[in-house]
A and B are shown apart, each in its own frame.
Chain A
């Protein structure tokens, strides 16, 4: 069964702290894609990253970095030197590429609310 678990419901940090958001997924497919989206207080969903199951290299984009580990089925997201503008709900999502699930649909985790205090 496909499932995405974000065990951290809420995280609160002080500005400039580093913070890691956890994401654990379940899938039977060997080919799949993982995503992170940000939902700021204004409500829209902003795409952050897409990673396929064959690429386990970590990725860094400015203050953001992602650690993909197939051995533990995890795709964790780290924000370095957090800022107040990082306050948002962050969603991890899974899309399977094969089998009967080839609709492109995203399976979302429940989200982690990050509050960065000044």
Chain B
């Protein structure tokens, strides 16, 4: 199993550009999450999904959108990138119960200039 995969690993965007961060898992997990990690800080939840077709906002959703058309994929869309979105983005998944262990992808390092 590949676990949780994320692409790209690194990306530099100009202010105002858009992009999609890809996340996929092959563990048949129902729950998926997007977090961001700012320098020297812990992770903060952006969006989460409890199953295909169901998404909801986390703690810091502004400037982002998500979709969940399949169990495996949970892309994160950045519209009109801003310097404040410079961060490392982690995708995670868990089996199904609310407090199941979350397993994380390798992260995407995004810089907005």
On A, residues with C-beta under 8 Å from B are: 4, 32-33, 35, 37, 43-45, 47, 50, 52, 91, 93, 95-97, 102-106, 108-111
* Given known contacts A45-B90, A103-B48, A103-B98, A108 and B43 CB-to-CB distance under 8 angstroms: yes
Min C-beta distance of B46 to chain A, whole Å: 10
Give 10 closest A-B pairs by Cβ, nearest first.
A108-B42, A45-B104, A104-B98, A33-B99, A105-B45, A108-B43, A95-B99, A44-B106, A97-B99, A50-B101
Partner of B42 from the list A4, A33, A44, A96 (CB cut-off 8 Å) is A4
| A110 engages B58 (CB within 8 Å) | no
Q: A residues within 8 A CB of B74?
A: none
Q: Which residues of B contact A109 (CB under 8 A)?
A: 42
Seen from chain B, the residues whose Cβ lies within 8 Å of a Cβ on chain A are 31, 33, 35, 40-45, 48, 50, 56, 58-59, 88, 90, 92, 94, 97-107, 109
Contact of B104 among A44, A50, A52 (CB under 8 A): A44
A102 touches B42 (CB 8 A): no
Residues of B within 8 A of A52 (CB): 99
- Max chain B C-beta neighbours (<10 A), residue from A33, A45, A96: A45
Complex: A52 Cα to B35 Cα, angstroms: 22
A102, B35: Cα distance in complex, Å: 17
Contacts of B56 on A, CB cut-off 8 Å? 103
Decide if A105 touches B42 in the complex (CB within 8 Å): no
Q: Give the distance in Å from the alpha carbon of A102 to the alpha carbon of B94 in the complex.
A: 14
The residue of chain B having its C-beta at the shortest distance from the C-beta of A39 within the complex is B37
The answer to whether A44 touches B99, judged by C-beta atoms less than 8 angstroms apart, is no
Contact between chains at A110 and B98 (CB < 8 Å): no
Is the Cβ of B98 less than 8 Å from the Cβ of A97?
Answer: yes
Given contacts A104-B31, A105-B48, A105-B58, contact A47 B42 (CB under 8 A): no
